[in-house]
Structure 1
Amino acid sequence: MKIIEHQANGINSYTLVNNHHMSVTIMDWGATVTAIRTHDKDGRFENVILGFDNLEDYITYQSFFGATIARVAGVIKNAKWRQYELTQNAGENHLNGGNLPQIAFEPWFLEHKLQTKDQVGLVMQYITLDGENGYPGTMTITANFILDDTGKFTISYTGKSDKTTLFNPTNHAYFNLSGDAERTIDQQILKINADEYSSLTKHGLPTGKLPWVTDTPFDFREPAEIGPQIAPIKGGLRHGFVLNNTPYPQVELLDRLSGRKLTMHTNTRAVVVSSATNYRDDRYRLNGGKPMRSQLGVSLQAQTLPDAIHHKEFGSIIIEPNIPVTYQTAYQFSNIYDV
């Protein structure tokens, strides 16, 4: 187990390596996960999330790849909570915590490193001040990134505020288990342990309704190839799923060709899944020079459903003064061809 440090153009990054050569790289800019390298059936280690080839591109394009989203992930309709006017950065709405500043594109402080015989990790911290983006309370957000020797990568976000405020963080990594984005996610197999999903308006805002997934393209309770399953959904997946409370993995992703498998378990109530459908940008150079194209990755954002403050049944994202709240998600990586 080791930690390799890198520094370039004022950006610090840290690669966590376990005893089986799996590695995770995190940079302090946005507490961003830039790479997760796992082996395929032939023993090749490749990056299974979308990441820019140059660290500077994370600053230039601000595209959320692998970034920490806080204070609140997703949309808040009309950018208002109680008497507080939040930053309008998505038309009349508030998105991903606002942009004055945008926490995903600010430097985080490395509090300390962790290294034992069976795990390595980082603890990063960011302090967002009372009134930033309209939120009440000065909040300390602590991000823990831990890789263990079994191939489990765990992200924990803890928020503590001196006033009643909102907290609903997530990580915005796009996964592609083919390795170095060799193929789209169309033939990768997704399973979501969820009976209900959050329906959206034509503008992408939650309606507040939680229909059952039965007899819809949103039914991933049995494993299904992503491309054929979501073909009837205009614009692809960008929906929240209400996770069943189970000790078993709540989300599974599998690529038969590489043999790579990801299982996810979280203490959050939901996961927002985006298939990056119609997401194209030829300026981007990802995973060895590839441009961003439709369905190149799938994001699995563990969180409370977006716009929860307007829909009581979604759950509460209100936190009380001086009472820390933690969101934790574990990603277990393996290969089905290992014996």
Structure 2
Amino acid sequence: MKIIEHQANGINYYTLVNNYHMSVTIMDWGATVTAIRTHDKDGQYANVVLGFDKGEDYINYRSFFGASIVRVAGIIKNAKWRNYELTQNFGEHHLNGGNMPQIAFEPWFLERKLQTKDQVGLVMQYITLDGENGYPGTMTITADFILDNHGKFTISYTGKSDKTTLFNPANHSYFNLSGNAERLIDHQILKINADEYSSLNKHNLPTGKLPWVTDSPFDFRDRTEIGPQIAKIKGGLRHGFVLNHTPHPQVELLDRVSGRKMTMRTNAKAIVVSSATNYRDDRYKLNGGQPMRSQLGISLQAQTLPDAIHHKEFGNIIIKPNVPVTYQTAYQFSNIYDV
């Protein structure tokens, strides 16, 4: 187990490496996961998340690839909560914690490094002040990134505020198990242990309704090829799913060509899935010079459903003063062809 550090253009990178050559790279700007390298059926290692080739492009283009989204991931309709006016940075709405500042593109402080014979990790911290982006309370947010020797990568976000406020963090990695985004995600297999999803209106805002997935394109309760399914959904997937309580992994992603498999287990109540459908940008240089293309990756954000403050059945994201709240998600990587 080891941590490799390097710096480029004022950005600090930390690569966690386990004893079996799996590695995870995190940069301090945005506490961002820039790479997760796992092996295919032939033992070749490649990056299974989308990431810019140049670290400064994360900041220049303000795209959320791999970023830590705080205080609140997703949208807040009309940018209002109680008597607080939140930053409007998505039309009249508030998106991904606001942009004054946008914490996903600010430097986080490395609090400490962790290393044992079975685990290696980082603890990063960001302090957001009372009133920033309209939120009450000075909040200390910590992000723990831990890789173990069994292919498990765990991200934990803890928030503690001196006033009653909102907290609903998420990591915004886009996964593509082909490795180095060699192929689109269309033929990869997705399974989500969820009976209900969050419907959206024509403006892609949550309606507050939670229809059953049965007999709909949103039914991923069995292993389902992604491409044909999202072709039935106008604009592709950008929806939240209410996760079932189960001791088993709640989400599974699989690529039969490379053999790579990832499962997810989280204490969050939901997952927001984005298939990046119609997301194109030729300026972006990703994973070895590739431009961003539609369905090049799939984002699996463990969190409480977006706009929860306006829909009580979505869950509670209000936290009390001086009571820390933690969201934790474990990603287990393996290969189906390993003997």
TM-score tier after normalising by the smaller chain length: over 0.9
Q: Given residue 315 of structure 2, which amino acid in structure 1 is its aligned partner?
A: G
Match in the other structure for 1:131: 131
Match in the other structure for 1:47: 47
Is structure 2 residue 242 aligned with structure 1 residue 239? no
CA drift of 1:232 comes to 1.0
Match in the other structure for 2:8: 8
Is structure 2 residue 116 aligned with structure 1 residue 116? yes
Distance 1:234 1:99 in 2: 29
Match in the other structure for 1:150: 150
Match in the other structure for 2:180: 180
Report % sequence identity: 86
Distance 1:238 1:244 in 2: 19
Distance 2:263 2:232 in 1: 26
Match in the other structure for 1:24: 24
Deviations 1:129-188 (A, max 9, x none): 000000000000000000000000000000000000000000000000000000000000
Match in the other structure for 2:223: 223
Gapped runs of 5+ residues in structure 1? none
CA drift of 1:238 comes to 0.2
Distance 2:273 2:6 in 1: 31
Secondary structure, counterpart of 2:125 in structure 1 = strand
Distance 1:44 1:20 in 2: 12
| Number of aligned residues | 339
Distance 2:56 2:325 in 1: 32
Q: How does 1:1-339 map to 2 (within 5 A)?
A: 1-339=1-339
Deviations 1:56-84 (A, max 9, x none): 11111110000000000000000000000
Secondary structure, counterpart of 1:89 in structure 2 = coil
Distance 2:62 2:91 in 1: 18
CA drift of 1:230 comes to 1.2
TM-score, with length taken from structure 1? 1.00
Distance 1:7 1:232 in 2: 44
Secondary structure, counterpart of 2:100 in structure 1 = coil
Secondary structure, counterpart of 1:78 in structure 2 = helix
Distance 2:41 2:298 in 1: 21
Distance 2:37 2:119 in 1: 16
Q: Given residue 283 of structure 2, which amino acid in structure 1 is its aligned partner?
A: R
Distance 1:86 1:230 in 2: 33
Distance 1:103 1:329 in 2: 20
Distance 2:168 2:322 in 1: 16
Q: Given residue 73 of structure 1, which amino acid in structure 2 is its aligned partner?
A: A
Gapped runs of 5+ residues in structure 2? none
Distance 1:330 1:164 in 2: 28
Distance 2:250 2:155 in 1: 16
Distance 2:73 2:325 in 1: 15
